[in-house]
Amino acid sequence: MTATNAKVLSRYEIARHFRRSKSGLAGVAIILGLIGMSIYSTVAIPLESYRHWNSPNFWIDYPRSAAPSWVNIGLGPKIPEHTILHMKDATISSIEEGQLRAVVHSYALNFNYDYYPSDFMLLYSARYGSTQPVLQVNVVRPDGQDFMIYFASLPSSQQERNEFSARVFSTDRAIAENLRDYEGIFSYKQDSSRPEIMIFAEAQENKILKGQYVIRETFYLFDSQDSIEDSGIILGGKVYGLMGTDELRRDLAVGILWGAPIALFIGFTVSIAAVLIGLIYGVFAGYKGKHTDEGLMRVSDVFYSLPALPILIILSVTIGRSIFLITGFLVIFGWVSMAKVSRSLALQLKNMQYVEAAKLMGQSDTKIIFRHIIPQLLPLTFATIAIAVPGAILGEASLSFLGLGDPSIPTWGQILHDANSSSAASRGLWWWIAPPGIMIAITGLAFVLIGNALDSILNPRSRKI
């Protein structure tokens, strides 16, 4: 009778057609990948890292604007990788002589790079009372030289038996002073005030000494109740991790990974809510007809004619920027097109004989809408939801890019905004710009592929011949 009735496809038929569509399957594969990323990021990456996204202290151990570590693959000069070692990476031994104990944490470090490290840090965390332990740090170089670079007692504790954590920077004056004793080893002028170069330089020639270094942190404890809670060493490099870091030392891999569940959340929530609201609104208008229809459609015209982005900007500036508010704002502008489509289909469907039959057996309008009309529109609804997801993700990304997104969580748009405000593009920090951009594009593409595949199955007019 009408176009909508011409082809009623069962769920199984739709699934069968969908399996034949290569682009649809590609879209599903991408989305499964994104869901995998989401699960990985919630399970493997501690929740803290995303909560502390904006707290500089959390990222203090990380390098500033480091490139991804895989840039070292290939023939070019090797850039030193930022290395963070903690107690669990050390070989621990301890010697006891009466009351005195010496706890040795030794770290083995392979240094085979073509540039000097930018700096280094020694970390410790100890629990002690009134008798301060003494820390001694030695570096055993690949050429057999043993540099004692640090020998000092830990700061005196004010309270009774407290855990005390601190770090010794490579710029510490004590290190420079200790290193002055070793300047004679070098056959050329070596500057002890730049320990990160002196320690890693060859004795005969002014070049880098490659090979295995052993850094030994020895703690001398004078009380049997004192203990070492943690130690560590950070070697400052210019490359780090899978995705590098940004200007504020944040690990971009964490941001990109956490962006996936957030983007999927925004995309799905906005599109499902908007499409369902539009569906019910449109079907109600179309089914009721007459003045109801006229009134509802004029209201939707108002929403249709509002310029979305300027108003979104105003809303997020005046009302708030939390991710849930932004989701709501995006829904406000997302439901109108579905309302128009479903209204026109409801106009056709309400003249179907089974709808009139239901009306004449006394069925209520609400039940007719939900039992007889909306089920016919469900396939269309799913296709529209899939197609609406990228719009929602892009909407959030553009708001975030303009600096109006939720600042407390890492979204891809937020990362792009940070990159832009640090002028990452002109400084050549490509790893800060490309991954979030690519992720937004891929996610959008996946949903468009699925939506188009569903649309061509469900909408006979656009089906390929």
Burial class (CB in 10 A: 0-12, 13-18, 19+), 3: exposed
**3-state class of 194 per DSSP?**
coil
- Comparing C-alpha atoms, which of 156, 121, 117, 161 is closest to residue 137? 121
CA distance 380 to 294: 24
CA distance 261 to 259: 6
Q: Which residues sit at the interface with other proteins, rule CB under 8 A?
A: 1, 5, 8, 10, 352-354, 356-364, 371-372, 375-376
What minimum distance in Å lies between the beta carbon of 352 and other proteins? 6
What minimum distance in Å lies between the beta carbon of 262 and other proteins? 36
CA distance 165 to 229: 9
Nearer to other proteins, 12 or 189 (CB): 12
* Contact residues for 18 (Cβ-Cβ < 8 A; gap 6+): 24, 25, 453, 454, 457
CA distance 58 to 161: 26
CA distances, 381 to each of 90, 111, 340 (Å) = 58, 58, 13
What minimum distance in Å lies between the beta carbon of 271 and other proteins? 23
What minimum distance in Å lies between the beta carbon of 439 and other proteins? 38
What minimum distance in Å lies between the beta carbon of 371 and other proteins? 8
Nearer to other proteins, 8 or 465 (CB): 8
Contact 119, 170 (CB under 8 A): yes
Give φ, ψ of 298 to 5 degrees.
-65, -40
What minimum distance in Å lies between the beta carbon of 320 and other proteins? 42
Nearer to other proteins, 250 or 372 (CB): 372
What minimum distance in Å lies between the beta carbon of 8 and other proteins? 4
**3-state class of 227 per DSSP?**
strand
Adjacent-strand bridge partners of 146: 140
What minimum distance in Å lies between the beta carbon of 351 and other proteins? 10
**3-state class of 101 per DSSP?**
strand
Nearer to other proteins, 135 or 345 (CB): 345
What minimum distance in Å lies between the beta carbon of 429 and other proteins? 55
Nearer to other proteins, 234 or 373 (CB): 373
Contact 374, 281 (CB under 8 A): no
Q: How far is CA 279 from the centre of its chain?
A: 34
Nearer to other proteins, 188 or 354 (CB): 354
Q: How far is CA 321 from the centre of its chain?
A: 19
Nearer to other proteins, 199 or 346 (CB): 346
Nearer to other proteins, 86 or 359 (CB): 359
Q: How far is CA 84 from the centre of its chain?
A: 21
Nearer to other proteins, 378 or 441 (CB): 378
